[in-house]
Structure 1
Amino acid sequence: MGWEKELANSITSPEELSSYLNLSPGEQRGIEEVVKLHPMRIPRYYLNLIDPKDPYDPIRKLIVPSIAELSTEGEYDTSGEQENTKGPGLQHKYAQTALVLATNQCAAYCRHCFRKRLVGLPNREILNRFDDAARYIEQHHEITNVLISGGDPFVLRTEVIRGFLSRLDTIPHLQFIRFGTRTPATFPQRITRDSSLTTLLKEYSRPDRRLYVITHFNHPRELTQEAREAAARIQDAGVLMYNQAVLLRGVNDSSVVLSDLLNKLVGSGITPYYVFQCRPVKRVKEQFQVPFSEGIPIIEGARARCSGPSKGFTFAMSHRLGKIQILGLRDDEIFFKFHEAKHPVDAGRFFSRRLLKGAGWLDDLTEESERSTNPLS
């Protein structure tokens, strides 16, 4: 079966799901309410990673809708993406980087998605004419790289992806291009059953202009033999692979589990890049966000169990002001540093705030306690 037919055979209704996971009538009704707001898609490959006997299975939590998604705490656009949108499907928040939202579709709809406002739903934030985005990039010489995301760009046909790469290849000031994709984790068959994609990647990943694939593995059980094979094929195409994970309650909020993930990623040739603090997204925050007071010790415990490239990741939150590194705790004080700033004046700035109980985002901390600081003093 080709990858497109297999993806079309995914689980998309509570009735189908119930036959696999033996949902109670109450659970099924709850899922029915959730999917009216945010759709469900579970590839059968990924469904088979779930232990149907364990209601707290971490893979299940990542992909199966929960009644907790009816919570409206938080907001949909926590990173200010809409205010950085320059045209349909094009964002320009950081001077050197253009972000292209190539599609609203994913192989699997993760329940913790920070773009919950648009994935699987009609939305004006999605690209409709790539050439318009390319012209903007062409005219802004400060842009040195493009991140193609979505949704998941690898659910697009290979020829569509070729169109992106061939057009970007004509822009001389671009130094590298990244694809953000979760298909190696949720649907590796996109890569293993269609050699045209890796052939295309090999064609455009050159010594003077590398392609990067940024994956999104969140739990060590996602690194199956099939997932590793998909990663190997991407790497054989001369593409460098990095991983962005999210610290998620009930999934990887354990130093042992998180370090296992990081070490297995390195063993698979994938460099840990970021571990992100879960954003306070509406219908996500309540069930997934880990407070700073719990998360920082988990991160430090995981790092202590790693060595070499597996411990080189950055723990950060992707805030409307920029990517802010979460450095650590001292007594009741939490320390931060701007890793990447929307406003140049903030670049590299250290600051601290008094830690408040239950806080899991910068906006939860009082600005009155902020002070520029050297955390080593």
Structure 2
Amino acid sequence: MHDEELNDIDWKELNWWNELKNNINSIDKLKKYMNFRGDEEEKLREVVANHPMNIPRYYLSLIDQDNPDDPIKKLAFPNKEELTVSGSMGETTQDPYGDDKHNKGNGILHKYPYSALIVATDYCSMYCRHCFRKAIVGLPNDKTVENFQNALKYIKEHKEITNVIISGGDPMLIDTPKLKKMLNGLKEIKHVNYVRIGTRTPVVYPLRFFDDELMDYLKEFNKVKTLYIPTHFNHINEITEISKEAVLRIREAGITVNNQAVFLKGVNDSAEDIEELMNGLTSIGVNPYYLYQCMPVSRVRNHFQVPLSEGINIVDEAKTRLDGYAKRFKFIMGHDIGKIEIIGKVDDKLILKHIHSRPEKPKDASKIRVMELTKNAGWLDDMKEVTI
């Protein structure tokens, strides 16, 4: 199918469930949209064997095929650099956020006393090449919730839990009747003040939100238990007329939409990129919330992570150009020991502040850390803690 044909599709009129069958999920299908050189096809087949590919036709339509450095293409298309496990940026891991340590079974991750995260599915409408759960998403694994009732039982028994995050994969790719059944189980848990559904669907597959049954239910649920939708726009080119309309439908249901972007080399690693993204988000009613430093994930770090010495300058420059609402986002690391805000640097010292800490170290919850910043450091573990 040519680009012109993709551009002629009315995405709002498609059945969202049936359209998934048209996803680009093999190298053979990708060959229609990408020219391979030398042994590239063989290498990409090896990449996809380890980390599956899944690209909706909608997201494919956003790619400028004439631009070899198109940021949307980098987020969606597999790359032979994904075969690099470690390199100049340092060591990598398959579990940078410590998910395995805090897995309570039935898909429950309980890292902080007040928050419980449920990995509700391992499926996404698109498998982003920078995903920090790259090792599990799209592959059979034991992290998918097979019995949501057991997950609910855990939450009911732990009254310190004030909020629940439903994550994945992408929970919005669960069919509407099943999603309703899952969410209904959270309505009656009094100590849960609010629920979050983490989803990249408004960005990569916005046609999901033109399902009236889904939107009517989310609006009704939000009246009983406050609902937030954290989403994941990374680049201004992802903000389209249809994604804008999908976000509006969510907002018209009374739901707050926050954005958690990831800072990525070759995608949004300039002050102009960050400025355009944050201004674009506020213009469509999405709150800039987090900008994550790319995690040292195996097969991700060495072609997506920006060194912190460069990154902090880029973010600081962008913030000088942004108004108060657009600059509200925090530049952070989601580390095994907790969420850490990257405050700034003084000479060769990087100033960090904990936002959250693990329950076994409650005093770290607001700790300031001063780290010796080196040229290639991209993660907390790359630096030595020092005093000033």
Q: TM-score, normalised by structure 1?
A: 0.96
CA distance in 2 between counterparts of 1:326 and 1:294 reads 13
- Tell me which residue corresponds to 1:13: 26
Corresponding position of 1:284: 300
In the alignment, is residue 338 of structure 1 matched against residue 338 of structure 2? Answer: no
* 2:362 partner letter: P
Q: Per-residue deviation at 1:311? A: 0.5
Deviates further, 46-55 or 285-294: 46-55
- 1:157-196 alignment runs, 5 A limit: 157-192=175-210, 194-196=211-213
What do residues 13-40 of structure 1 show as CA deviations (whole Å, max 9, x unaligned)? 1121111123335332221110000100
SS at match of 1:359: coil
Residue 234 (structure 2) pairs with residue 218 (structure 1)? yes
Q: 1:122 aligns with which of 137, 140, 144?
A: 140
Partner of 2:128: 110
Return the offset for 1:365: 0.6
Question: What is the match of residue 47 of structure 1?
Answer: 60
Counterpart for residue 96 of structure 1: 114
- Map of 1:287-302 to 2, 5 A cutoff? 287-302=303-318
Question: Using the alignment, how far apart are the partners of 1:27 and 1:267 within structure 2?
Answer: 40
Deviation at 1:127, TM superposition (A): 1.2
Find the counterpart in structure 2 of residue 34 from structure 1. Answer: 47
Q: Distance in 2 between matches of 1:136 and 1:70?
A: 38
Select the residue among 141, 151, 156 that pairs with 1:133: 151
In the other structure, the counterpart of 1:203 is 220
Is 1:266–1:272's contact at 8 Å kept on the other side of the alignment?
A: yes
TM-score (norm 2): 0.93
**Alpha carbon RMSD of aligned pairs, Å?**
1.1
Counterpart of 2:100 in structure 1 is 82
Number of positions where the alignment pairs a residue of Structure 1 with one of Structure 2: 368
CA distance in 1: counterparts of 2:386 and 2:249, whole angstroms: 47
Residue 375 of structure 2 is aligned to residue 357 of structure 1:
yes
Which deviations, in whole Å up to 9, do the C-alpha atoms of 1:285-328 show, x marking residues without a partner? 01000010010011111111110211001110000000000011
CA deviation map 1:114-143 (0-9, x unaligned): 001110001112211111111111011110
CA distance in 2, matches of 1:266, 1:219: 13
Q: For residues 279 and 222 of structure 1, what CA distance do their matches in structure 2 show?
A: 22
Following superposition, the deviation at residue 370 of structure 1 comes to: 3.2
Distance in 1, matches of 2:52 and 2:71, equals: 20
Asked if residue 58 in structure 1 is aligned to residue 76 in structure 2, the reply is no
Post-superposition offset of 1:165? 1.3
Counterpart of 1:360, as a letter, is: G
Q: Which consecutive unaligned segments of at least 5 residues does structure 1 have? A: none
Q: What displacement does 1:250 show?
A: 0.2
* The one of 238, 247, 254 aligned to 1:238: 254
| Paired letter, 2:263 | L
**3-state SS of paired residue (1:36):** helix
CA distance in 2, matches of 1:294, 1:357: 8
C-alpha displacement of 1:210: 1.2
Partner of 2:168 in structure 1? 150
Distance 1:227 1:324 in 2: 30
Contact 2:122 2:144 in 1 (8 A): yes
Q: Which residue is equivalent to 2:6? A: none
Q: Does structure 2 retain, via aligned residues, the 8 Å contact 1:15–1:28?
A: no
Q: For residues 206 and 45 of structure 2, what CA distance do their matches in structure 1 show?
A: 28
Q: Deviation per CA, 1:73-109: give whole Å up to 9, x if none.
A: 2111011111011113100001110000000000000
SS in structure 2 at match of 1:351: strand
Query: Deviations for 1:135-175, whole angstroms, at most 9, x for unmatched residues?
Result: 11101111000000000000000111111211000101010
CA distance in 1 between partners of 2:39 and 2:326 (Å): 42
| Residue in 2 that maps onto 1:269 | 285
8 Å CA contact 2:106–2:148 kept in 1: the answer is: no
CA contact (8 A) 1:243 1:271 kept: yes
Q: Distance in 1 between matches of 2:186 and 2:304?
A: 37
Provide the C-alpha distance between the structure 2 equivalents of 1:345 and 1:123, rounded to a whole number of angstroms: 35
Please name the residue that 2:386 is paired with.
370
Give the match's secondary structure for 2:313: helix
